[in-house]
Amino acid sequence: MSGPIRVVLADDHAVMRAGFRMILESEDDILVVGEAGTGAEAVAAVSAHRPDVVCMDVQMPDMDGLEATRRLTSDPAVTASVVIVTTFDRDDYLFQALAAGASGFLLKNAGPEELITAVRVAAAGDALLAPAVTKRVIERFAAAEGTPATATPPGAGVSSPAPPSLPVDLTDRETEVLRLLAAALSNAEIAQELYIGEATVKTHVSNVLQKLGARDRVAAVVYAHRHGLA
């Protein structure tokens, strides 16, 4: 990015927002450009400040963070990634956050470095792919949408399953990259797996997102699970 990562903080507790601001603005590459105490204020703040990342609480008055996330991610004029930051370690919140289009999920008891990392990762479009809990919930989300059953491991059956039919024109290499994204690999890990440069991986990921019409990597992973690539 050419400038600092622009962040909007949405939380109904002013003390929590002040703490997040202090942590994030201790870094030279992060700038908090707005705050909100309700979901509706969060939507308005994003419209006013055009941030790169929104740190969004779940339980807020007026409109909860999940509904605010849905409104933001469904607006084509909004390019910000949403990181849900909540006190509650609940699968249903994580599930609903991904369904709403969030690109990250963090608990408030996480350390300062984890918050900073989450913002940077979300700004890079690379959020929430590594943790095991994310993979589990993405699989659950995909299953709820009618994903084909997980393929039988090699050697476990007499015949191999038929390759999935993709409704978009991905190249063979792009399909490989999408499959590895679905396995929660980072760009560096994909580069190592395919023996190509990390810059080349970034180009393939960008092409995959564009062809899928996917907002971010999380949406691409969900797509892969839906179409039997996981």
Task: Name the residue type at position 183.
Answer: A
Q: What does the DSSP 8-state code read for residue 90? A: -
Beta bridge partners of residue 106, listed in sequence order: 85
Q: Does pLDDT of 132 surpass 50?
A: no
pTM across the whole model: 0.67
- Between residues 23 and 164, the one the model is more confident about: 23
Residue 103: both structure tokens together: 């690109």
- Distant-in-sequence, close-in-space partners of 122: CB < 8 Å, separation ≥ 6: 52, 53, 81, 82, 83, 103, 104
Residue 168: both structure tokens together: 């978009």
pLDDT by residue (tens digit) across 30-80? 999 999 999 999 999 999 999 999 999 999 999 999 999 999 999 999 999
Q: Does pLDDT of 162 surpass 60?
A: no
